[in-house]
Amino acid sequence: MAHAIVYSELGGPEVLTLTDIEVPAPGEGKVAVRVEAAGVNPIDGKLRSGLRASGPLTAPRRVGSDGAGVVTAVGEGVDGFRPGDEVVVFGASGLYASDVVVKASSVQPRPPQVSAAAGAALGVPVGTAYQSLRSLGVGANDTLLVHAGSGAVGQAAIQFAVLWGATVVATASPARFDRIRELGAVPVAYGEGLVDHVREAAPDGITVAYDAAGTDEAIEASLEVVADRARIATIVRGADAAGFGIRAFSGGSPDPLSPQQLAWRAEAVPVTLALLAAGTFSVELGPALPLTDAAEAHRLLAAGTPGKITLVP
């Protein structure tokens, strides 16, 4: 029997429960995937707790948008996938499950060099980082400040920016500095003295700032070191961005992403898969827990566990 994680009320990690599910045959344009790993993202916890509004809970709600696995069946009109293909799933729903049926547009072939866990780590983080940096026009003449550079989005942002020729300064806790350096950025500690630390790390100045931390400190520091507010963006404080005069990409923003921005989010996964296959992109994996331990996975996420946490059905 197929199974999935659901919640029937908003609350702490304990509201996540395992349930049996029916998996329909894939309809037109859809693909059935046996999930080998599901990525755990902060948004999953925010939706579960009600921190991010998501409409009335009238039926048990599934969790998770990213995963990787093996195609088990394809619907009519689906070209390019066959049962047995190893794939990455992104931008879908209900991935905390043993089996899913998703749109073919949410599926990408997974190269042999990319493990299921690494594939499951991509969707939200790389989609967000890639789209944000494209929207900000980050390029070779830039010095980019990334807040929360040691997180999944931050690590992706550092790597795209470095690949595109930018110089990158990234905040993290000191225990994570080695990882930041490994990715090609200069680490600085968040907390007291942040602006001074950033100025020391980038004596020629910061031209663009990207907030994946969501703290007042991150936004205030960005405002202090970047002259052009159109080159400061947050992905966490979307509701407050207009008040600061900065840009927001989702994260509670009242403004939806543009068609171009949505296209960049979708493009990010195949671009990253090609980089991973070429050995020029790196995903930091964290604990892999059984699907039945979804609640524990959310506790580990809230506790700031390094690396992408995955669930294994």
Ligand X SMILES: NC(=O)c1ccc[n+]([C@@H]2O[C@H](COP(=O)([O-])OP(=O)(O)OC[C@H]3O[C@@H](n4cnc5c(N)ncnc54)[C@H](OP(=O)(O)O)[C@@H]3O)[C@@H](O)[C@H]2O)c1
Q: Does 272 bind ligand X (CB under 6 A)?
A: no
Q: Containing H/E element for 123?
A: helix 123-135
77 or 304: CB nearest ligand X: 304
Bridge partners for 143 per DSSP: 167
Q: Does 292 bind ligand X (CB under 6 A)?
A: no
75 or 127: CB nearest ligand X: 127
14 or 255: CB nearest ligand X: 255
Q: Does 210 bind ligand X (CB under 6 A)?
A: no
Question: What is the DSSP secondary structure assignment for residue 279, as one 8-state letter?
Answer: T
**Is the distance from CB of 99 to CB of 72 less than 8 angstroms?**
yes
Interface residue with ligand X among 16, 117, 133, 212 (CB under 6 A) is: 212
Beta strands in the chain (DSSP E): 2-7, 17-21, 30-39, 61-62, 66-74, 86-89, 99-103, 107-109, 143-147, 167-172, 186-189, 208-211, 232-234, 247-248, 285-290, 308-312
Q: Containing H/E element for 120?
A: helix 116-120
Number of residues that bind ligand X (CB under 6 A): 30
251 Cβ contact partners less than 8 Å away, ≥ 6 residues apart: 214, 234, 235, 236, 237, 238
**What are phi and psi for residue 106, nearest 5 degrees?**
-95, 10
Q: Measured from the CB of residue 304, what is the shortest distance to ligand X in angstroms?
A: 5
Q: Does 107 bind ligand X (CB under 6 A)?
A: no
51 or 163: CB nearest ligand X: 51
Q: Does 172 bind ligand X (CB under 6 A)?
A: yes
* Residues within window 111-130 making contact with ligand X, judged by CB under 6 A: 124-125, 128
Contact map string, positions 123 to 162, toward ligand X, x by CB under 6 A: -xx--x------------------xx-xxxxx--------
Residues that bind ligand X (CB under 6 A): 41-43, 46, 124-125, 128, 147-148, 150-154, 171-173, 176, 190, 212-215, 218, 235-236, 249-251, 304
